[in-house]
Amino acid sequence: MAYEVGEKSQAWFERATRVIPGGVNSPARSFRAVGGDPPVVMARGMGPYFEDVDGRRYIDYLAAFGPLVLGHANSHVVQAIKDHVDEGTLWGTPAPKEIELAETLVASIEGLEQVRFTSTGTEAVMSAIRLARAFTGRPVVVKFEGAYHGHSDGMLVKAGSGASTVGTQDSLGVPWGVVKDVISLPYNDIAILEETLAKIGDQVACVLAEPIVGNMGIVPPKDGYLQQMKELTHKAGALLIFDEVITAYRFHYGSAASLLGVIPDLYALGKIIGGGLPAGAYGGRYDVMQYVSPLGGMFQAGTLAGNPLSSVAGLATLEVLQREDPYQRMAELAKILEENILEIAQEFDQPITINRVGSAFTVFFQENPVYDYTTAKMSDPVKFARFHRLMLERGIYLAPSRFEAWFVSAAHTRQEIDKTLEACRESFRELSRG
């Protein structure tokens, strides 16, 4: 039985391709890496479910690429938005909700002494880098292959996520002048970082890392790696930036940095802090943040930054997370998926590796450990594409790329997990038949 995207999805997508390049507003949404377009066009989300425009239901593990830690349309978040929307949508002035959200972030993220809002994670990272360059007076950024830090020019060098599946690893339109000061190193290899900083450390403004990588699939740091990264970075006189756009509030009520015991100089934040509405933020050490305009000479701005509705949705999401503390339950459900998927794959002789941290994991279609971009790329793209389609056919929505995560949300229950495992069993059986 070959899966066919529904007729209404097809019709909507056909309309989309006429007016939107490739029919999608982010390449990560395209199905080109998993057997081709059209993708499914969604009509609504409720709890752990998606419903498409043809009325088909799916269990959702995309979580909109991370923000929806509470699942779709959480009643507390929706009510908070409704309660606030009559006051207006944007003011262009300081406003209570953005201040409350800033206070909440500062109180719960270790080392975040001040914070400035942006509208996206891309801007958050871009601004943190500019700030590090302003503070140190140095040009070079050291980042890691397969990490994704948004789509600002300098970050499209050996990037992961959508950039790695659509062949724009080094995007057209990015001038050499921008990327010549960006160095990409293999993740989890402390010797290479040490060598690099020994050679050119005095030109390095910052070392930028996803502390737990989410964009070549989930790849955790090796023991001691981040601590050594911090020591080497500081020895070179540079700043350490953690891009926690995915990881902040994903694994506990706070940053991954505090879970891992390594606090950076600056953070980039996004996704969960906007509760499903557009938001980003960067911040960290007080002395460094004094360089930000209008206090200091590092200019950064945004008409939509600190958007009242995003602030309200972010605050409501963080309130639920703090009050209900769903993290252990989410991690337990993800663990059940991990253990059973490994068993099922083995039963059908399908070599896979799973990297899981808490409620987020990636199934790599290869049997060796995955600890960097080179090993992540060994995941078989053809098998993943087939698996993706088989799961879709069985009502399970996975991100359409072998380099993304499955996110279990606070709305998932054992019932969805069991249905997912049934679908996995049938899908691996089909895969084993060739």
Ligand X SMILES: N[C@H](C=O)CCC(=O)O
Residues with catalytic function: 148, 243, 271
What pairs with residue 142 in β-bridges? 183, 207
Taking phi over 0 as left and psi of -120 to 50 as alpha, with beta for the rest, 230 belongs to alpha
**Which partner, ligand X, ligand PLP, none, binds residue 162 by CB below 5 to 8 Å per kind?**
ligand X
**Which partner, ligand X, ligand PLP, none, binds residue 120 by CB below 5 to 8 Å per kind?**
ligand PLP
Q: Is 184 in the site for ligand PLP (CB under 6 A)?
A: no
Q: Is 161 in the site for ligand X (CB under 6 A)?
A: yes
Count of residues touching ligand PLP (by CB under 6 A): 15
Among 123, 208, 150, residue whose Cα is nearest residue 27? 150
Q: Is 220 in the site for ligand PLP (CB under 6 A)?
A: no
Residue 236: CB minimum distance to ligand X, A: 28
Q: Is 265 in the site for ligand PLP (CB under 6 A)?
A: no
Of 74-82, 120-128, 289-297, 318-326, the segment contacting ligand PLP by CB under 6 A is: 120-128
Choosing from 246, 268, 320, 408, the residue that interacts with ligand X (CB under 6 A) is 246
Closest to ligand X by CB, 102 vs 209, is 209
Count of residues touching ligand X (by CB under 6 A): 10
Alpha carbons 74 and 208: distance in angstroms, whole number: 33
**Residues 6 or more apart from 362 whose CB is under 8 A from it?**
217, 218, 354, 355, 356, 370, 402, 403, 404, 405, 406
Choosing from 211, 264, 270, 284, the residue that interacts with ligand PLP (CB under 6 A) is 270
Q: What does the block give as tokens for 398?
A: 């996975």
**Residues 6 or more apart from 215 whose CB is under 8 A from it?**
146, 147, 148, 159, 160, 161, 246, 403, 404
Choosing from 164, 184, 215, 409, the residue that interacts with ligand PLP (CB under 6 A) is 215
What pairs with residue 355 in β-bridges? 362
CB 88 within 8 A of CB 118: no
Q: Is 148 in the site for ligand X (CB under 6 A)?
A: yes
Among 130, 74, 93, 80, residue whose Cα is nearest residue 282? 130
CB atoms within 10 A of CB 52: 20
Among 306, 297, 295, 321, residue whose Cα is nearest residue 109? 321
Determine which helix (DSSP H) or strand (DSSP E) holds 7, and give its type and residue range. Answer: helix 7-19
SS3 127: helix
Closest to ligand PLP by CB, 126 vs 344, is 126
Q: Is 26 in the site for ligand X (CB under 6 A)?
A: yes
Choosing from 13, 16, 23, 28, the residue that interacts with ligand X (CB under 6 A) is 28
Choosing from 154, 162, 221, 264, the residue that interacts with ligand X (CB under 6 A) is 162
**Which partner, ligand X, ligand PLP, none, binds residue 404 by CB below 5 to 8 Å per kind?**
ligand X
Residue with the CB atom nearest ligand PLP in the bound state: 121
Name the pairing type of β-strands 360-364 and 353-357. Answer: antiparallel
Of 147-155, 309-317, 400-408, 421-429, the segment contacting ligand PLP by CB under 6 A is: 147-155
Task: Tell me which residues touch ligand PLP (CB under 6 A).
Answer: 120-122, 125, 148-150, 210, 214-215, 243, 245-246, 270, 280
Task: Tell me which residues touch ligand X (CB under 6 A).
Answer: 26, 28, 65-66, 148, 161-162, 215, 246, 404
